[in-house]
């Protein structure tokens, strides 16, 4: 046996309506001691199910149909043992530890964290209760949980999401496993926390010579942390190679297209994203030929006549599953490079300001007792000041809890701000009553984050889009209304023939198009996009970004684009506003902000974003930021960032720095520049 | 925790006050003259006047309430007209019987209900689950009086195995007591087992699908440990609510079974008091049932807080 773990030909099926649906269709991979391997793929590509199959954690109605799993030191194929057998249980948690995606729900809420870790140690290492407790505390210290002895008796809900994921790491590592599987372990966390955690996993793994499998959809993470990568598509591995080869010399059409579809931090201003058209196949209807065929730009008619391609050696440790020869791929590549692309849509930023926000403040009262006495205030946002020009896109970034959404709701006037001006085309709407607001409502629209829950499941697509037309009485006759709805459908790239369908009959990307059509229906001047693409797959994201850009060029609408993905924000925005704990810390031109960040928080944020380029990643220093975003309930005195800032001085602890213009409209709130 | 309990007791006192007002107003709600209603129409003017004053009907409503409630809190509910005894003395005789049967049924139904629920959830979709679930569903729907009559017919009239009525305490005559309690207890308990089983099954199934159970599996824990340590504690939280409701319902709804088996408990007493329009007795019974319900609620909340660390106390 050559490798620590050898997995061959895993086929995992789920029974759906009496039919077998293959979620994993023959996946093989291997792992050596101490190496970090990345498994990337979009949702539904079968990457998690593959890992669950190895551990025999796939629950009914799913089952592993065939395949072998050999772990160094075990004689038999692990899949021959029963899922609940003593052997399998000693492998799970003992030799292979696993961390899951949702830190909020992955720990048992009614048991203390100490108990949960201790239990794992006592199961797998030959230790009594006292020894196990000592080891638990040692593990908690290793993952940098402060006051580990006292925290032993805490319940999971007394920790933040980042802390809980540290506890999960401590638990998974507590029985000295040979392999750690991190299944989207940092997806739900903020970028700075994500970077800290992955850094921690890497250093612990290297110290203890533990092999790590990073399962993720984020190409940046694997570029930064993985040494070898498996790219999965529709239940199969389509390409595998060393990290550098995957990013620099990718062979498989899917990998190549994926890299063309994602925005990067170091993109030039006018880069166009080339989306992968279409959708990943439904596993129930997957064809016998290459599953990527329908979306492949390189495809030849012969591809559809042959079976599914197997992985074949294309270079040193580099395998790709494609029927096309290198020469065919190269020729096609030249062809693709030479096909005229739609140029990046021309922006037209006017000089008039559509939105001026000045000193906006919103506090929420904290109430207690039967009488709902006010005992304090949550200072959600303070002194928010910025303006937005016609046809401009302002990106808004910041970690969760920084007040992005509160700000958006104040501008939408869902909330009435305590103080400040919100001038819309010169009229202050901040304190207007509902009646007075009526004419302005239709001119600010919103696109929401979750295309699944933000559409009424019982309303037809047509009536979702028509609703605001009816409310605003902007159409006189039924025919006009129908024509307008058809127009909007065509505008966002949906077939007007789909008008009578209900939301669940659309895919995620289509639903978000529907959300955009709804926002456009009232012909607004400003659209607030609240994380419009974060629920979508990478290959779909590019379609939506491109659509938003085209619409802006066509209609001259202004966007407030709220997102936590900095690469996306940079790609789409003209200017970017950075928020931290309810305050604006920096506003600058997008290119300038990324080239020359001034505020220490912006700097840290940019450094924390993993980029899909191993060269860029190598040049980066370790994460320069420690700690987590403090709760908004006890915001630090002075500059909100001072206790995480390495450059903080005495003054920062006492005074709040004001936002100041440092030339060219680059505004920053930091004493370093004053 | 102490603060939490004090707060809950405070809230309960408010509830009891409101209930007591309604109970008191009962006298005014009843049609006809309360004195005639109690003693019948054929009484002398003298007796009428005496009772008129005894019931305080010459005073305004508020004063009457105050004098009634101030006596009631010291345990003095006045005289029972139909029993010719102090109301308290009547209750002291009857209430322990009902409480004895209710608690016995309660403590039998909880472990059995939870056990069947877990067995059913763990074997979801298999034959055992189908059998248990079907049984539970049927038993849930059967009203107590129907079961009582059915058992009575079967075991007493047809098979002559069990006595059809009566009640003695176990320390008076153990064998007789056991034989007499079997049927009423069965009627009181079957519904409880069934509903606790159903609730446990569904909340267990929900918990088994949670991420933290997957985590527990990924740690290689044994099936029993996952179910009894990781899943059960979470699954029992909604069951606790149901248990509280059950206990309150057992004591408040004791009249059906007690009537059929002719058991001298609070249920039969209340029925009798209502038929005789014995107002002081009705008031005392209803107030007592309200107090029991409130106390059970407080206990439920305390158990809740003790089991679920997410509830802040």
Q: How far is the alpha carbon of A125 from chain B, nearest alpha carbon, in Å?
A: 12
Q: How far is the alpha carbon of B298 from chain A, nearest alpha carbon, in Å?
A: 18
Dihedral angle, C-alpha A639, A641, A643, A649, nearest 10 °: -50
Predicted local distance difference test score (pLDDT) of residue A343: 67
Predicted local distance difference test score (pLDDT) of residue A622: 60
Q: Residue A598: pLDDT above 60? A: yes
**Closest residue on chain A to B223 (Cα):** A84
Per DSSP, A4 falls in state: S
Q: Convert the pLDDT of each residue in A290-316 to its tens digit.
A: 989 988 888 888 888 888 898 988 888
Q: First vs last Cα of chain B: how many Å apart?
A: 6
Q: Residue A245: pLDDT above 70? A: yes
Separation CA A358–CA A420 (nearest Å) = 6
143-182 in A: which are within 8 Å (CB) of B?
Answer: 155, 157, 168, 171
> A94: which chain B residues are within 8 Å (Cβ-Cβ)?
220
Q: How far is CA B231 from CA A436, B125, B129, B237, B240, in A?
A: 54, 19, 18, 11, 15
Q: Is A109 on the interface with B (CB under 8 A)?
A: yes
Per DSSP, A294 falls in state: G
Q: Is A351 on the interface with B (CB under 8 A)?
A: no
Q: What is the pTM of this model?
A: 0.83
User: Residue B120: which pLDDT band, with cuts at 50, 70 and 90?
Assistant: very high
Q: How far is the alpha carbon of A437 from chain B, nearest alpha carbon, in Å?
A: 41
Buried residues in A447-486 as b, exposed as e (16+ CB within 10 A): bbbbbeebbeeeebbbebbbebbeebeebeeeeebeebbb
> A120: which chain B residues are within 8 Å (Cβ-Cβ)?
219
User: Residue A134: which pLDDT band, with cuts at 50, 70 and 90?
Assistant: very high
Q: Residue B78: pLDDT above 90? A: no
Q: Convert the pLDDT of each residue in A67-106 to its tens digit.
A: 999 998 888 898 889 888 899 999 999 999 999 888 888 9
Under 8 Å between Cβ of A391 and A425: no
Q: Is A74 on the interface with B (CB under 8 A)?
A: no
Separation CA A589–CA A561 (nearest Å) = 14
Neighbours of B270 (CB within 10 A): 24
Separation CA A111–CA A477 (nearest Å) = 62
pLDDT above 70 covers what percent of chain A? 98
Separation CA A511–CA A453 (nearest Å) = 10
Range ranked top by mean pLDDT from A122-126, A633-637, A663-667, B168-172: A122-126
Can you state the angle between helices A161-173 and A113-124, rounded to 10 degrees?
20
**Closest residue on chain A to B219 (Cα):** A93
**Which pair of structure tokens corresponds to residue A540?**
């779909």
Question: Half-sphere exposure (CA, 13 Å, Cβ side) for A83?
Answer: 15
State the average pLDDT over residues B250-258.
Answer: 82
Predicted local distance difference test score (pLDDT) of residue B312: 62
Q: Is B216 on the interface with A (CB under 8 A)?
A: yes
Cβ separation B233–A111 shorter than 8 A = yes
Q: What are phi and psi of A386, to 5 degrees?
A: -170, 170
* Surface-to-core class of residue A36, CB atoms within 10 Å of its CB (0-12 exposed, 13-18 middle, 19+ buried): buried
Predicted local distance difference test score (pLDDT) of residue B212: 93
Per DSSP, A504 falls in state: G
Q: Which one of B214, B225, B310 has the shortest CB-CB distance to A100?
A: B214
Q: How far is the alpha carbon of B306 from chain A, nearest alpha carbon, in Å?
A: 10
Predicted local distance difference test score (pLDDT) of residue A1: 60
Question: Comparing A117-126, A271-280, A401-410, A587-596, which segment has the lowest mean pLDDT?
Answer: A271-280
Q: Convert the pLDDT of each residue in A504-515 to its tens digit.
A: 888 888 888 999
Which helix (H) or strand (E) covers residue A65, if one does? strand A62-71
Q: Convert the pLDDT of each residue in A352-373 to its tens digit.
A: 889 999 999 998 888 776 667 7
Cβ separation A100–B219 shorter than 8 A = no
> B129: which chain A residues are within 8 Å (Cβ-Cβ)?
none
Predicted local distance difference test score (pLDDT) of residue A16: 82
Q: Which one of B216, B218, B233 has the shortest CB-CB distance to A110?
A: B233
Q: Residue A221: pLDDT above 60? A: yes
State whether ipTM is beyond 0.95. Answer: no
Predicted local distance difference test score (pLDDT) of residue A385: 92
**Which pair of structure tokens corresponds to residue A279?**
């959708």
pLDDT above 90 covers what percent of chain B? 26
* Inter-chain Cβ pairs, chain A and chain B, closer than 8 A: 72
Neighbours of A582 (CB within 10 A): 25
DSSP A400-462: TTSSHHHHHHHHTTSS--SEEEEEETTEE-TT--HHHHHHHHTTEEEE-S-TTTSS-TTS-HH
Q: Residue B197: pLDDT above 80? A: yes
**Closest residue on chain A to B207 (Cα):** A108
Q: Residue A623: pLDDT above 60? A: no
State the average pLDDT over residues B33-52.
Answer: 76
Q: Is B221 on the interface with A (CB under 8 A)?
A: yes
Under 8 Å between Cβ of A429 and A437: yes
Closest by CA position to B212, among listed A109, A98, A413, A145: A109
Range ranked top by mean pLDDT from A94-98, A636-640, B299-303: A94-98
Report CA B121 to chain centroid distance, whole Å.
28
Q: How far is the alpha carbon of A55 from chain B, nearest alpha carbon, in Å?
A: 8
**Closest residue on chain A to B215 (Cα):** A106
> B225: which chain A residues are within 8 Å (Cβ-Cβ)?
119
State the average pLDDT over residues A48-64.
Answer: 89
User: Residue B28: which pLDDT band, with cuts at 50, 70 and 90?
Assistant: low
Cβ separation A88–B220 shorter than 8 A = yes
Cβ separation B218–A171 shorter than 8 A = no
Q: Sort residue B78 into left (φ over 0), alpha (ψ -120 to 50) or beta.
A: left
Q: Is B130 on the interface with A (CB under 8 A)?
A: no
Predicted local distance difference test score (pLDDT) of residue B108: 93
Q: Residue A35: pLDDT above 80? A: yes
Under 8 Å between Cβ of A593 and A574: no
Separation CA A402–CA A579 (nearest Å) = 6
Q: Convert the pLDDT of each residue in A398-449 to its tens digit.
A: 888 788 888 999 999 989 998 899 998 888 988 888 888 888 888 899 998 8
Q: Which of A103, A106, A174 to mutate to test the interface with B (most CBs of B within 10 A)?
A: A106
What is the rounded average pLDDT for all residues in chain A? 88
């Amino acid at each position: 046996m050559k490798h620590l773990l050898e997995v061959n030909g895993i086929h995992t099926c789920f029974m759906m309506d009496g039919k077998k649906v293959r979620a994993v269709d023959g996946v093989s991979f291997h792992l050596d001691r101490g190496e970090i391997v990345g498994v990337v793929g979009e949702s539904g590509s079968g990457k998690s199910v593959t890992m669950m199959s190895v551990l025999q954690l796939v629950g009914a109605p799913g089952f592993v149909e065939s395949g072998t799993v050999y772990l160094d030191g075990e004689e038999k194929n692990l899949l021959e043992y029963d899922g609940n057998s003593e052997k399998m249980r000693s492998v799970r948690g003992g030799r292979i530890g696993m961390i899951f995606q949702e830190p909020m729900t992955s720990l048992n809420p009614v048991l203390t964290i100490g108990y949960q870790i201790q239990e794992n140690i006592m199961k797998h290492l030959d230790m009594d209760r006292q020894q196990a407790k000592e080891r638990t505390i040692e593990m908690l210290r290793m993952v940098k949980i402060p006051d580990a002895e006292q925290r032993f008796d805490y319940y999971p809900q007394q920790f933040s999401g980042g802390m809980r994921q540290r506890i999960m790491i401590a638990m998974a590592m507590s029985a000295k496993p040979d392999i750690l599987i991190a299944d989207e372990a940092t997806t739900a966390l903020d970028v700075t926390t994500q970077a800290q955690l992955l850094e921690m996993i890497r250093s612990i793994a290297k110290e203890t010579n533990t092999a790590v499998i990073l399962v993720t959809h984020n190409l940046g993470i694997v570029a930064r942390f993985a040494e070898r990568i498996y790219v999965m598509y529709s239940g199969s591995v389509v390409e595998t190679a060393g990290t550098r080869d995957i990013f620099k010399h990718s062979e498989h059409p899917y990998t190549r297209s994926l890299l063309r579809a994602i925005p990067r931090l170091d993109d030039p201003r006018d880069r166009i994203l080339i989306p992968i058209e279409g959708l990943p196949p439904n596993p129930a209807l997957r064809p016998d030929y290459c599953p990527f065929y329908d979306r492949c730009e390189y495809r030849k008619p012969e591809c559809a006549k042959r079976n599914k391609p197997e992985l074949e050696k294309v270079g040193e440790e580099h395998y790709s599953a494609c029927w096309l020869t290198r020469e065919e791929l190269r020729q096609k590549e030249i062809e693709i490079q030479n096909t005229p692309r739609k140029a990046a849509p021309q922006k037209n930023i006017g000089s008039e300001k559509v939105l001026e926000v000045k000193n906006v403040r919103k506090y929420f009262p904290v109430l207690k007792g039967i009488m709902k006495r006010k005992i304090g205030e949550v200072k959600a946002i303070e002194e928010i000041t910025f303006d937005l020009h016609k046809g401009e896109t302002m990106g808004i970034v910041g970690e969760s809890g920084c007040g992005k959404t509160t700000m958006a709701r104040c501008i939408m006037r869902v909330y009435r701000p305590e103080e400040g001006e919100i001038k819309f085309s010169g009229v202050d709407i901040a304190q207007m009553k509902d009646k007075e607001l009526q004419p302005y409502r239709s001119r600010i629209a919103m696109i929401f984050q979750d295309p699944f829950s933000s559409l009424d499941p019982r309303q037809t697509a047509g009536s979702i889009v028509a609703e605001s037309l009816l409310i605003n009485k902007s159409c006189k006759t039924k025919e006009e209304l129908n024509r307008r709805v058809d127009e909007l459908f065509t505008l966002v790239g949906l077939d007007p023939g789909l008008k009578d369908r209900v939301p669940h009959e659309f895919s995620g990307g289509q639903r978000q198009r529907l959300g955009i059509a709804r926002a456009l229906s009232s012909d607004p001047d400003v659209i607030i996009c609240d994380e419009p693409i974060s629920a979508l797959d990478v290959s779909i994201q590019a379609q939506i970004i491109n659509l938003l850009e085209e619409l802006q060029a066509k209609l001259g609408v202004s966007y407030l684009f709220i997102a936590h993905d900095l690469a996306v924000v940079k790609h789409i925005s003209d200017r970017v506003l950075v928020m931290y704990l309810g305050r604006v810390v920096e506003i600058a031109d997008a290119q300038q902000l990324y080239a020359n960040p001034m505020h220490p928080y912006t700097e840290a944020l940019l450094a924390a974003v993993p980029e899909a380029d191993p060269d860029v990643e190598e040049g980066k220093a370790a994460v320069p930021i420690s700690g987590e975003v403090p709760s908004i309930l006890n915001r630090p005195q002075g500059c909100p960032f001072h206790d995480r800032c390495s450059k903080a001085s005495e003054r920062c602890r006492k005074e709040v720095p004001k936002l100041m213009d440092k030339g060219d409209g680059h505004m920053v709130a930091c004493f370093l520049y004053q | 925790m102490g603060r939490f309990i004090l707060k809950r007791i405070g809230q309960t006192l408010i509830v009891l006050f409101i209930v007591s007002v309604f109970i008191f107003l009962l006298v005014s709600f009843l049609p006809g003259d309360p004195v005639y209603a109690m003693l019948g129409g054929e009484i002398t003017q003298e007796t009428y006047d005496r009772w008129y004053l005894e019931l305080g009907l010459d005073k305004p409503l508020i004063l009457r309430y105050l004098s009634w409630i101030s006596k009631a809190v010291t345990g003095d509910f006045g005289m029972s007209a139909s029993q010719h005894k102090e109301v308290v003395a009547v209750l002291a005789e009857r209430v322990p019987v009902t409480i004895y049967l209710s608690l016995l049924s309660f403590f039998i139904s909880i472990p059995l209900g939870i056990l069947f629920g877990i067995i059913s959830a763990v074997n979801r979709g298999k034959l055992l689950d189908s059998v248990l679930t079907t049984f539970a569903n049927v038993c849930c729907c059967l009203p107590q009086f129907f079961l009582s009559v059915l058992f009575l017919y079967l075991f007493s009239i047809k098979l002559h195995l069990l006595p059809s009525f009566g009640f003695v305490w176990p320390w008076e005559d153990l064998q007789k007591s056991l034989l007499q309690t079997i049927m009423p207890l069965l009627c009181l308990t079957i519904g409880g087992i069934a509903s606790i089983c159903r609730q446990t099954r569904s909340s267990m199934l929900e918990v088994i699908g949670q991420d933290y159970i997957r985590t527990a599996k990924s740690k290689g824990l044994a099936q029993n440990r996952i179910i009894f340590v990781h899943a059960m504690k979470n699954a029992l939280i909604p069951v606790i609510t149901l248990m509280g409701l059950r206990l309150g319902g057992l004591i408040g709804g004791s009249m059906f079974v007690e009537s059929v088996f002719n058991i001298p408990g609070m249920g039969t007493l209340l029925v009798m008091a209502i038929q005789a329009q014995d107002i002081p007795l009705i008031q005392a019974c209803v107030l007592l049932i309200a107090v029991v319900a409130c106390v059970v609620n407080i206990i439920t909340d305390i158990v809740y807080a003790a089991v679920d660390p997410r509830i802040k106390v």
